[in-house]
Amino acid sequence: MVSLLDMASLEGLRFFGRISASISHELKNTLSIMNESAGLLEDLALLAEQGKALDASRVKTLSALIKRQIQRTDQIIRNMNRFSHTVDEPLKEIELLDFLEFVLAVCRRLTAAKGIVIQVTPKGRPLTVVTRPFFLHRLIWLLLEIGMGFAGKAKALTLIPEKTESGVSIRLTGLETLTPETDRIFPENQEQTLLTLLEARLTMNLEEKSFALVLPQRIKDEGVGGAA
């Protein structure tokens, strides 16, 4: 008997590795930019030692560039640290708008590679839920990954968190090429497993061209089911 948690954790480990690799590439890019800028500063210093006038404006420009990359690197590391800690607690209260912004920040390199712009549009007051953060992060990414395939010419998607009678929903809009056939092939097994663990459901609106992930205010069953 293999539990749903075991099934989701195995796929989750692959997801963790994929996100970690993406983050490491982002860090490598910032370090490359800083290294190149430092090399140009060294060249300017060498020219000054040879008696040539020091280009102060260029020094300031390079220094500002390095400073921006340091700030960018710091934020990437903060996001990486936060992502790593999503596995610490099985259940945790999260603020949905903040969580969605965090998901996009962590996955920015992967969405940029698809040429898709994704934004979060807040609606009303902050929304909090008690859920399984790591599995929710993974499910949102799976929805985004599938949604990017339906983005069409606009290449723009929007995540909209909203309050419902029993909890919250996250609508993914901008799915221009969504068709009725999609409902017969999606969600697949890995999405279904995550939906069960999150006590959530997924709906599709062809008129609005959107998916909606509906979550409870708080997960009721802290245990997990099993599957043969």
Residue 223 has a pLDDT of: 58
Q: Do the beta carbons of residue 93 and residue 62 sit within 8 Å?
A: no
Residue 186 has a pLDDT of: 65
pLDDT at 106 exceeding the cut of 60? yes
pLDDT at 180 exceeding the cut of 90? no
Residues of the chain with CATH 1.10.287: 2-86
pLDDT at 224 exceeding the cut of 60? no
Q: What are the tokens at 120?
A: 């979060």
Question: What's the rounded Cα separation, in Å, for the pair 91 and 218?
Answer: 9
Torsion of CA 118, 122, 126, 129, to 10 degrees: -40
What percentage of residues in the chain have a pLDDT greater than 70?
Answer: 91
pLDDT at 1 exceeding the cut of 60? no
DSSP class per residue in 139-204:
HHHHHHHHHHTT-GGG-EEEEEEEE-SSEEEEEEE--TT--TTHHHH-S-HHHHHHHHHTT-EEEE
Fold of domain 2-86: Helix Hairpins (1.10.287)
Mean pLDDT for the stretch of residues 101-113? 91
Question: What's the rounded Cα separation, in Å, for the pair 175 and 209?
Answer: 5
pTM comes to: 0.85
Q: 213: pLDDT confidence band, cut at 50, 70 and 90?
A: very high
Residues of the chain with CATH 3.30.565.10: 90-222
Q: What is the DSSP letter of 218?
A: B
User: Quick one: 90-222 is in which CATH superfamily?
Assistant: Histidine kinase-like ATPase, C-terminal domain (3.30.565.10)
User: Is residue 133 reached through a cis peptide bond, with omega within 30 degrees of 0 on the bond before it?
Assistant: no
pLDDT at 122 exceeding the cut of 90? no
Mean pLDDT for the stretch of residues 74-85? 92
Mean pLDDT for the stretch of residues 164-183? 87
Q: What are the tokens at 53?
A: 């006038």
β-pair partners for 213: 170, 202
pLDDT at 226 exceeding the cut of 50? no
Residue 225 has a pLDDT of: 46
Residue 142 has a pLDDT of: 92
Q: What is the mean pLDDT of the chain?
A: 88
Decide: helix, strand or coil at residue 217. coil
Residue 227 has a pLDDT of: 40
pLDDT, tens digit (0-9, with 9 covering 90-100), for 132-165: 999 999 999 999 999 998 998 889 999 999 999 8
